Amino acid sequence: MTENKPSKNNLKFLKSAAGFAFEIIKAFVISLAIILPIRYFLIQPFYVQGASMEPTFSTHDYLIINEIEYHFEAPTRGDVVVFKSPYSQKEYFIKRIIGLPGEKVEIKDGQIYIYNQEHPQGFVLPEDYLPGIQTYTEGKQYSQLQIKNNEYFVLGDNRNASLDSRNFGAIPRQNIIGRAWIRGWPFTKLSIFNKVNCNKITTNN
């Protein structure tokens, strides 16, 4: 009996196929090494559901959340953030930061008052990003809420239809995932969101 030996052409083909497969695997591993850290530590997609952030964001908006920013600096007033729900760690909310750690927040006459070390008498929060908006708590005055040193007071931009800190109180810092950065969908509303200016204040006389 004669033994069938692979021809040179077959050996060449096998080596070429093995080399190609190795390059594919290498590219896949490198891609995972790049994409996974970006996906889990730098940016994260978020799909808006509900009307609590209208008119800023609408249901079905697709957002990219900047996660790395808060590794280097604290969240600031006016930031729109995604955070773990106080009711379920598997659910996420999107709201705007209103009160910072250590401050007091009061809602009366449709306005938000902030009390802190710089303004112990309080100031009216300017919300130029929501012209004409008024904030209420079912028609009643919201007593001053003292925010703990590791917490933030958050509200939805749609003040008449938002489940937020008026209901569940301030949220822990560790629950905040990141800041709303880019709206990728719908394409007609593609935009990048910068930090807002909340520095023009009116003191509470």
Tell whether 31 is covered by a domain. Answer: no
Q: Is the pLDDT reported for residue 33 higher than 80?
A: no
Can you give the pTM of this predicted structure?
A: 0.75
Q: What is the pLDDT of residues 51-96, one digit of tens each?
A: 899 988 888 888 888 888 898 899 999 999 999 998 988 899 999 9
Q: Which residue numbers are catalytic?
A: 52, 95
Tell whether 107 is covered by a domain. Answer: yes
pLDDT of residue 119: 92
Q: What is the CATH number of the domain that holds 168?
A: 2.10.109.10
Tell whether 125 is covered by a domain. Answer: yes
Average of per-residue pLDDT values in the chain: 80
Q: b vs e for 64-102, b when ≥16 Cβ sit within 10 Å of the residue's Cβ?
A: bbbbebbeeeebebbbbbbbbebeeeeebbbbbbbbbbe
Tell whether 153 is covered by a domain. Answer: yes
Q: Is the pLDDT reported for residue 157 higher than 70?
A: yes
Total number of domains constituting the chain: 1
Question: What is d(CA 87, CA 81) in angstroms, rounded to the nearest whole number?
Answer: 17
Tell whether 30 is covered by a domain. Answer: no
pLDDT of residue 16: 63
Amino acid code (one letter) for 202: T
Q: Is the pLDDT reported for residue 179 higher than 80?
A: yes
Domain that holds residue 60: 45-203
Q: What is the pLDDT of residues 98-135, one digit of tens each?
A: 999 999 999 988 899 999 999 999 999 988 888 888 88
